Structure 1
């Protein structure tokens, strides 16, 4: 492996590092729920997401009576930082012994800053969810594992943003969903979709139905879980159109996973490709093409050339 590529696309191991990923997942849920409590509903739950920053993940500004505040996971210093529009600043460590300890520290930090926020205290999209305040299981937080995962998010976000720039129809930001713990970008045909069946663990059906109210081709990066114990890139369509599972021109290592119902490309296959950026972009483009062609999207009206810095898109 080229040392330069290895530094840009670092090695990840779900088997060795999933405890850190699990701890971060629950911590981001706490912070995400604070954002949810302070932000008007935006289509497809886009108001709840976190955003990549130069040091980690941020909520962006959230209003409160005295002004605005933000919360940011600093995955270089391994702190959760609170900043307020009156110049206030505080932070707490991410290596709390338990999620209950981290939850209590977040609530105390907000209270000390005069920010009153009531938020739902139960994790979403996880089976057998334990309320944050009661989750006293010991948690392992490895700073190196968390830092490498963030570097993958950061580089993935760069490629996802390039992919996003080639679409002039409705398209989501590149954003981080704390419920499912994945970085995602979603394209829309503009047409309504059949009512989603719901059934996501610990997520109200009406939330899932609003999220999938319109046809989508969605792609993302997930650090892995019991159903796929390895970090991976995914791509799916809702509703799934005819012929979607027969995508052409996929990069090495990519294929359709029947159990997951989506295309999957293991992170390791991208990381070890001769040109990881190109391999990932190919995966995104070819799986999107399978979705758009199968559902007969008006591609000529929805697509454009991939954007370049400083160059205005021709019209």
Structure 2
């Protein structure tokens, strides 16, 4: 793959526009999907060509919203053959996309009212009023997709062997990250009152993911976020690998930037090492009750022996 690193500041206008477009599709899924623990029902699956909602129920039929980030269009289609396409290009504003998306949903028989306030985004301008975000750098979008594919390979390699409840990597439209989690199966009540946190942080887990940077941290990076949160790992810092990975107390997260990952001879292994070593540190600080079973190796035979 081309090792192109997109610092958020270099493509912020396009990144924000794409982010807000995806938020609208995600909010449609929120309104219509059957609810699952930990907001699992709002995650958007990654595909070879882009990001989609997956199947959304709509009474007697189903539909999906799919962003093709190679051909730069959005398809809104249902199981009865109805289909509407929205071209993506420079100049299409968030407000313009909102209007076209709502019209496309009407056309396929799935009109859906959504909360038009952006989720977990620094600019709270309602979608239907936002005309300032309208940039579309095709090359940057395609490079971002390639980085998501790299992240998927790394994260799925690490997460796949765990037993018990595991979420494989998918896209979170609120924070624009691709992530998955491994869960302890132990309750861990959340002390906050915000609706996102109350319905997310209710059991011990560690989330592993990749995000493209934002207004607070412009470098795209891989992260490991344990819950319950903690602020320091001083006694176990020497366990963290590879050598450029770090724990950032202000974020309560383990971090390996994409640039640092690409600096190693085997970038994928570097990301896996960060995930594995940080998971081991978490277990040193707060060992899970059923850890032995959760990490028990799988017994599938080698492919040549099947």
TM-score, normalised by the number of residues in structure 2: 0.92
Q: Partner of 1:13 in structure 2?
A: 7
| Alignment match of 1:228 (pick from 217, 221, 225) | 217
Q: Partner of 2:94 in structure 1?
A: 99
Q: Deviations over 1:125-183 (max 9, x none)?
A: 12441110011114211011011101111121122111111210211121111001101
Query: Do 1:68 and 1:84's aligned partners in 2 also have CA atoms closer than 8 Å?
Result: yes
| Alignment match of 1:302 (pick from 273, 294, 305) | 294
Q: Partner of 1:140 in structure 2?
A: 135
| Alignment match of 1:23 (pick from 17, 22, 36) | 17
Distance 1:186 1:114, change over 3 A: same
User: How many residue pairs align between the two structures?
Assistant: 300
Q: Partner of 1:273 in structure 2?
A: 264
Q: Partner of 2:58 in structure 1?
A: 64
User: Partners of 1:311 and 1:67 in 2: how far apart?
Assistant: 39
User: Partners of 2:302 and 2:82 in 1: how far apart?
Assistant: 36
| Distance apart, 1:87 and its partner CA | 2.0
Which runs of 5 or more structure 1 residues have no equivalent in the other structure? 1-5, 199-204
Which runs of 5 or more structure 2 residues have no equivalent in the other structure? none
Q: How does 1:231-242 map to 2 (within 5 A)?
A: 231-240=220-229
* Partner secondary structure for residue 51 of structure 1: coil
Distance 1:189 1:34, change over 3 A: same
Q: How does 1:1-315 map to 2 (within 5 A)?
A: 6-7=1-2, 9-95=3-89, 96-198=91-193, 205-240=194-229, 244=233, 246-247=236-237, 248-297=239-288, 298-305=290-297
| Distance apart, 1:308 and its partner CA | 7.5
| Distance apart, 1:302 and its partner CA | 0.6
Query: Do 1:185 and 1:219's aligned partners in 2 also have CA atoms closer than 8 Å?
Result: yes
| Distance apart, 1:241 and its partner CA | 5.2
TM-score, normalised by the number of residues in structure 1: 0.89
Distance 1:251 1:84, change over 3 A: same
Query: Do 1:193 and 1:213's aligned partners in 2 also have CA atoms closer than 8 Å?
Result: yes
Query: Do 2:207 and 2:225's aligned partners in 1 also have CA atoms closer than 8 Å?
Result: yes
| Distance apart, 1:252 and its partner CA | 2.9
Distance 1:224 1:75, change over 3 A: same
What's the RMSD between the two structures over aligned residues?
A: 2.1
